Amino acid sequence: MRDGPGPNGSPAAARWRLRLALRRAREAAGLTQGRVAETLEWSVSKVNRIEKGDVTVSATDLRALLGLYGVDDYDDVRRLLHDARTSRLRGWWDEPRYREHLTPAMLQLLQLESEASAIRVFQPTLIPGMLQTREYGEFVLNFWRSELAEADRALRLEARLRRRQQVLDRSDPPLLRLVLDESVLWRTVGGPRIMSGQFTQLLQVMRRPNVQVRIAPFADAAIMAMLAPFTLLDFGDEDDALLYREGILVDEIVHAAHRIRRHRDYFAHIWRAAHDEQTSARLIAERCVALAALAGPGSLPTVG
């Protein structure tokens, strides 16, 4: 993981770096969470929440932990204190309206993906939220109007559009690898016009050198389609990764190393089985033209 938060470091990314550093320092000192809690007269749940990145840590508590773990290198301490301060800063995702209408897991994802060095996404049913057009996103969210209030849907759409800007348009954008099940090409969300517009935008995004998109063919996708959508975020170190999983109105951030490894293997298998980027782009472009023709005169998008 990056050594410091940098000028664009997010609070969640700083908290992520801090949790990893503290966990590793505790393990290097040969201490259990229970022993740490007993020594510092804390609850075990407090130590666990700090190491999971669920809460911020004060400078006083951080110094107590570092002293217990024997971490006394000046540069290490200074960097960790800086991360502790950064983790308490507020960003656009901390606005009350976002906290009120977005899930805790999504709020973490919004922050952490802005620091990721690589993002890998598998989506068996839909264009992923970060790459959705406004019209496509509105149609998808409106499907849940009986479950989600109008304000929830509006803020989730706004967050999706903002994610694309925050991640893809940053100065050091991550490598983005996306695998779509071929069924996504044929599932006409919102009608031909909305779908042709969505595929036009996707093809434009695919021209970026850091974006790679592949289509998993029907012939090989039966087992893959049983997987729920998932996103893997890497931060430059093999051990520094997280998993985001989403289902019907439920999502989660996963820290468990064994589950992250399992999904790495899933993605590697799906990626190898999918069409290459050139073939995938051709399939998307062909479907885009066909949908534009169905949408009627004046709807034909420019593709390439």
pLDDT digits (tens, 9 = 90+) for 176-230: 999 999 999 999 999 999 999 999 999 999 999 999 999 999 876 556 667 889 9
| Residue 2 pLDDT > 80 | no
pLDDT at 171: 81
Per-residue confidence at 7, pLDDT binned at 50, 70, 90?
Answer: very low
Per-residue confidence at 167, pLDDT binned at 50, 70, 90?
Answer: confident
* 113-132 pLDDT tens trace: 877 889 999 999 999 999 99
What pTM was estimated for this model as a whole? 0.75
Burial class (CB in 10 A: 0-12, 13-18, 19+), 141: buried
| Residue 95 pLDDT > 50 | yes
The tokens of 81 are what?
A: 């204190």
* Per CATH, domain 11-89 is 1.10.260.40: yes
DSSP E strands in the chain: the ranges are: 118-123, 175-181, 211-216, 230-234, 241-246, 251-254
| Residue 296 pLDDT > 60 | yes
Class of domain 104-129+172-295: alpha beta
Cα separation values, 92 from 11, 99, 113, Å? 11, 10, 14
| Residue 96 pLDDT > 50 | yes
Per-residue confidence at 269, pLDDT binned at 50, 70, 90?
Answer: very high
Burial class (CB in 10 A: 0-12, 13-18, 19+), 40: middle
pLDDT at 238: 61
Lowest mean pLDDT among 8-12, 39-43, 100-104, 149-153: 8-12
The domain segmentation of the chain, as residue ranges, is 11-89, 104-129+172-295
Q: Which residue has the higher pLDDT, 9 or 196?
A: 196
| Residue 279 pLDDT > 50 | yes
pLDDT at 225: 63
